[in-house]
Structure 1
């Protein structure tokens, strides 16, 4: 099954993924647990182009919300077959640090158009054929706390310089609001809001 952890920058998604790995392996019937993070900046040419745009190196590409959304979508499409294999397995779990909902939340936050969430869903799930996740988890850390974490992370690691999206306070707030609405309305499947493992593990057992 595929479980996607979503949230704004600094929400603590990766920390929660690591905690979930330790818990999920204890569930009867679960054979394997793997993780994948998006964007895949180290492996994907599309993610690398998006990163360069976010750091002011690709002309006006970053000014296009839809252009950036396509880059992030194509990053996922590069591993679409692998994602499909995980989706077909009920004895393995793939934990994703961001997935399609991230693209929908950020794009609609940038444009101010809720309909862009449906546009992203059509692009990624229909046109590119990516599997829908079995569960989407909103790591609902408050934007103020997330910003503090992101800034601290940057100060401790020169390679973690915040990009244009991460530095945009208004965008982070709008994206968080978009995530809240998507979780409340069940955008493209089941959602829960959690910042700890217990409620997520309960949902995993129910999916089993």
Structure 2
């Protein structure tokens, strides 16, 4: 049991005969991978007691701002919150390789959709212990980007829809093979691509360290990515999706209630 997060409960589960793509995390299969070996190993799987909530959206949509406001509101309600932003630049070796590739420092690596997808996925795989620990010791773990970012951006680069072969391949890689837990909720901060692009340019001018990478500076890619995000949300891929209009001030109080799942005591 040494690989299990602190404070986790344990349940014995019988593996089903079929693994359905896009299956959300459940009480029976809290690690999100029915029929697959748990990260802990053996027959026992970890029951992750916190809620895993992911904020998704285009570059420049305002995800960091929304995550900050949501964190403050949830803490005011007495919830304990942990946060992780992906890619984990400056922390994970695979994330730093992503940054190097997106800024042209690794030759033509950024041109490989599957190669970049693997680097993004490996960064999350490296963080599984951190994710498990946060879920075992906090009421809510807020993630700024997660598996759906990989699905949206890479499918958009390939010109594929959300139900295309790439997204199916990615599910098998990140969820079924790497064992990443499925979220309890996605929050999609939807803004028009041109608005997100303008915000990203303003951010770049205000902070030289926030220069736009190859994805952020590609307006056509951002527009295609927005369409794939909408398709993922409509399909409720991996988990329920709550869509927030990023062009207006979000109702953070209502969003906080949904994040907590109307749990008693909050």
Instruction: Give the TM-score taking structure 2 as reference length.
Output: 0.74
User: Are 1:74 and 2:122 an aligned pair?
Assistant: yes
Q: Quote the residue 1:198 is aligned against.
A: 253
Comparing 190-199 and 148-157, the one that deviates more: 190-199
Q: Quote the residue 1:100 is aligned against.
A: 147
1:62-118 CA-partner distances (Å, limit 9, x unpaired): 1110100000010111110221233456x5211111011000000100112222112
User: Are 1:60 and 2:108 an aligned pair?
Assistant: yes
> Matches of 2:109 and 2:212 in 1, distance apart?
18
User: Are 1:47 and 2:102 an aligned pair?
Assistant: no
* Kept after mapping to 2: 8 A contact 1:2/1:86: no
**SS of the counterpart of 1:57?**
coil
> Matches of 1:205 and 1:79 in 2, distance apart?
23
Q: Quote the residue 2:40 is aligned against.
A: none
Q: Quote the residue 1:83 is aligned against.
A: 131
Bigger helix share = 1
> Matches of 1:166 and 1:128 in 2, distance apart?
27
**SS of the counterpart of 1:164?**
coil
* Kept after mapping to 1: 8 A contact 2:189/2:243: yes
* Kept after mapping to 2: 8 A contact 1:13/1:97: yes
Deviation of the 1:207 alpha carbon: 5.6
The alignment covers a number of residue pairs equal to 205
What are the residue-to-residue correspondences of 1:104-143 with 2, within 5 Å?
104-113=151-160, 114-143=164-193
User: Are 1:153 and 2:203 an aligned pair?
Assistant: yes
* Kept after mapping to 1: 8 A contact 2:185/2:239: yes
Comparing 135-144 and 76-85, the one that deviates more: 76-85
Q: Specify every segment of 5 or more residues in structure 2 that has no aligned partner in the other structure, as ranges.
A: 1-50
Comparing 80-89 and 9-18, the one that deviates more: 80-89
Deviation of the 1:199 alpha carbon: 3.7
Instruction: Give the TM-score taking structure 1 as reference length.
Output: 0.93
Larger radius of gyration: 2
Structure with bigger RCO (C-alpha 8 Å, 6+ apart): 1
